[in-house]
Amino acid sequence: GDSVTQMEGPVTLSEEAFLTINCTYTATGYPSLFWYVQYPGEGLQLLLKATKADDKGSNKGFEATYRKETTSFHLEKGSVQVSDSAVYFCALGGRGGATNKLIFGTGTLLAVQP
């Protein structure tokens, strides 16, 4: 069945460092891909999405490119801030996929130190 695999955390970075959080997926059909962010004590918020191969989603300085050939959707940011400290979830779903549900990864905790 469909699945999402994220890199294990926690990821600890200094402020202004470059961030990459890896995400790979297994899916039937042509799903959409999402990144969600969860700040401490809050619900999940949609960070960005891509609906087809080679699409790039971007928001708040974060980017991720839908790579069908490598079945990946890695999250990147050029310069992280302390305020980016949160848990990041990769997810797949979408009308081109085989499911009505979003399939979430296990989440990656990012801690940014000043």
Partner 1 sequence: DAGVIQSPRHEVTEMGQEVTLRCKPISGHDYLFWYRQTMMRGLELLIYFNNNVPIDDSGMPEDRFSAKMPNASFSTLKIQPSEPRDSAVYFCASSVDRGYEQYFGPGTRLTVT
Q: How many helices (H) and strands (E) does the chain have?
A: 0, 12
| Minimum CB–partner distance for residue 12 and partner 1 (Å) | 19
Q: With respect to partner 1, which residue has the nearer C-beta, 70 or 100?
A: 100
Nearest-angstrom CA–CA distance, 3 and 17: 30
**Residue located via tokens 């202004």:** 16
State the pairing for strand pair 11-14/108-113.
Answer: parallel
| Minimum CB–partner distance for residue 19 and partner 1 (Å) | 21
| Minimum CB–partner distance for residue 65 and partner 1 (Å) | 18
Q: With respect to partner 1, which residue has the nearer C-beta, 19 or 103?
A: 103
Q: With respect to partner 1, which residue has the nearer C-beta, 17 or 109?
A: 109
